[in-house]
C-alpha cells in the first residue's frame, strides 16, 4: 500500500448509473493500494464527511481527488479557491462533444482521463485513456440464478438507459423471433428517460404478438443477478461513452451481441470468437443473430468472453492504470 497518497473519489448523483458501477468496481482494488475514501452520496464505499474531507484537503499529505461530473469538479474547485492543495483528476465519461462549461472545468483539472481512443482524440484537451474494468469476482457466472416473476426459462437481457440512442427499438423489432420460441423472454433493465418512448417499445412488442415475453424492469442495484440469469445479452446502442454493460455481461459468461464500432464494443469483442457484432440499426442482422443463437446454430461464446475480460478488462488492471495517473 502507498501510505503517502490519499485518494478521494467523489459521487454526487442520486441515481445509480454506469458511472456509479464503474467507481464501485474499482474501489476495492484502489483501497488495496492506498488510503481511499468516497465523498458524496448514491454510492457504496468508505464514505467520509465534509469535516473529514476538509481535514484531509488542508493537510500536508499528498491528496488526489478524482471527479466524474461537473457538479463534483465545481465543489472541489471551491475548496481549492479557499486554499486547499490537492491534485484534481477528472474523467470524461461521455463520447459527445463537451459543453463549454464542461471543457472549462476539464481544463481546470490537473489530469483528465478518457475511456476510449476516439473520445481521447476528439476531446481537444490533453488526456490519458484508462478504460473501465470489471470486478470479475462479483460479475461472475452463476448457472443457478433465476429471475422471479418471469416464467420463461431462457432470458435475453438488455441493460442500460432506455432511450432511443441505446437502440431498444431495433432490439424490439428483431425480437419478433420470440413469437415462435415461447420459452424465451426479453428483459430490458434500466431507467426510462421518457414515458412516451416506453409506450412506443410496448407497442412494437404488441405488434409482433410478443408482449407476454417482454419485460421492463427499472434500474436496480441487483443487476448482477440479471446478467447471471441471462443466456444472451444484447447491446444495440448507437453511441456509448464506454459500454460497461457489455464488459459486465461478458464477465458473467453471457453470449453477447453488440453493435460494432460503438464505444469499446469492437475492442472487447472479436466477432465470432468471444461474442458477436452487428451494424447499429440493422434489424435484419440482429434478428438473424438472435434466431441462430436461440436455435443453437451459432456457438455460445460466454466462456471465451469471460476469458477476455479476465485477461484485459479487469478492475484490478484499471486500478493499476489509475494509480499510474495519480502518481505521475
Measured CA to CA, the distance from residue 194 to residue 235 in angstroms comes to: 19
Q: What is the pTM of this model?
A: 0.89
Measured CA to CA, the distance from residue 310 to residue 283 in angstroms comes to: 31
Do the domains 2-133+314-327 and 154-311 sit in the same CATH topology, yes or no?
Answer: yes
| Domain positions in the chain | 2-133+314-327, 154-311
The architecture of the domain spanning 2-133+314-327 is 3-Layer(aba) Sandwich (3.40)
- The superfamily CATH assigns to domain 154-311 is Glycogen Phosphorylase B; (3.40.50.2000)
What's the grid cell of residue 141?
457466472
- Which residue in the block uniquely carries the three cell numbers 438473424? 288
Measured CA to CA, the distance from residue 317 to residue 251 in angstroms comes to: 14
Residue 41 DSSP symbol: E
Say whether pLDDT at 2 is over 60.
no
If pLDDT is split at 50, 70 and 90, which confidence band does 4 have?
A: confident
How would DSSP label each residue in 229-245? H-SEEEE--S--SS-HH
If we measure between CA atoms, which residue out of 108, 13, 1, 8 comes closest to residue 65? 8
If we measure between CA atoms, which residue out of 24, 8, 14 comes closest to residue 89? 8
pLDDT tens string 301-315 = 999 999 999 999 999
If pLDDT is split at 50, 70 and 90, which confidence band does 17 have?
A: confident
How would DSSP label each residue in 148-203? TT---SEEEEEES-BSGGGTHHHHHHHGGGGGG-TTEEEEEES-BS-HHHHHHHHH
- The reported pLDDT for the residue numbered 221 is 86
The residue-averaged pLDDT of 94-98 equals: 86
Say whether pLDDT at 147 is over 60.
yes
pLDDT tens string 222-266 = 999 999 999 999 999 999 989 999 999 999 999 999 999 999 999
If we measure between CA atoms, which residue out of 39, 107, 95 comes closest to residue 238? 95
Considering Cα of 28, then 29, then 30, then 31, what sign does the dihedral take? positive
Amino acid at each position: 500500500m502507498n501510505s503517502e497518497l490519499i485518494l478521494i473519489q467523489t459521487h454526487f448523483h442520486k441515481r445509480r448509473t454506469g458511472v456509479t458501477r464503474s467507481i464501485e468496481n474499482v474501489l476495492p482494488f484502489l483501497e488495496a493500494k492506498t488510503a481511499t475514501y468516497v465523498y458524496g452520496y448514491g454510492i457504496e464505499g468508505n464514505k467520509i464527511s465534509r469535516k473529514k474531507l476538509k481535514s484531509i484537503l488542508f493537510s500536508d499529505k499528498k491528496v488526489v481527488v478524482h471527479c466524474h461530473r461537473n457538479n463534483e469538479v465545481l465543489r472541489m474547485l471551491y475548496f481549492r479557491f479557499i486554499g486547499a492543495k490537492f491534485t484534481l483528476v477528472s474523467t470524461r465519461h461521455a463520447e459527445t462533444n463537451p459543453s463549454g462549461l464542461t471543457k472549462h472545468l476539464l481544463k481546470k483539472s490537473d489530469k483528465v482521463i478518457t475511456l476510449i481512443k476516439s473520445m481521447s482524440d476528439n476531446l481537444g484537451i490533453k488526456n490519458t485513456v484508462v478504460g473501465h474494468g470489471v470486478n470479475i469476482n462479483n460479475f461472475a457466472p452463476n448457472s443457478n440464478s433465476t429471475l422471479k416473476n418471469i416464467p420463461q426459462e431462457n432470458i435475453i437481457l438488455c441493460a442500460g438507459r432506455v432511450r432511443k440512442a441505446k437502440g431498444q427499438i431495433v432490439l424490439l423489432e428483431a425480437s419478433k423471433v420470440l413469437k415462435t420460441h415461447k420459452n424465451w423472454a426479453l428483459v430490458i433493465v434500466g431507467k426510462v428517460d421518457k414515458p412516451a418512448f416506453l409506450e412506443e417499445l410496448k407497442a412494437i412488442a404488441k405488434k409482433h404478438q410478443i408482449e407476454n415475453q417482454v419485460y421492463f424492469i427499472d434500474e436496480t442495484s441487483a443487476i448482477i443477478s440479471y446478467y447471471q440469469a441471462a443466456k444472451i445479452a444484447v447491446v444495440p446502442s448507437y453511441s456509448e461513452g464506454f459500454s460497461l454493460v457489455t464488459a459486465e455481461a461478458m464477465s458473467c459468461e453471457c453470449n453477447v451481441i453488440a453493435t460494432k464500432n460503438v464505444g469499446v464494443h469492437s475492442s472487447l469483442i472479436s466477432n465470432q470468437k468471444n461474442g458477436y457484432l452487428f451494424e447499429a440499426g440493422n434489424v435484419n442482422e440482429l434478428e438473424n443473430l438472435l434466431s441462430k443463437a436461440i436455435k443453437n446454430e451459432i456457438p455460445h461464446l460466454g466462456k471465451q468472453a469471460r476469458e477476455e475480460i479476465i485477461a484485459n478488462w479487469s478492475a484490478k488492471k484499471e486500478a493499476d492504470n489509475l494509480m499510474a495517473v495519480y502518481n505521475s
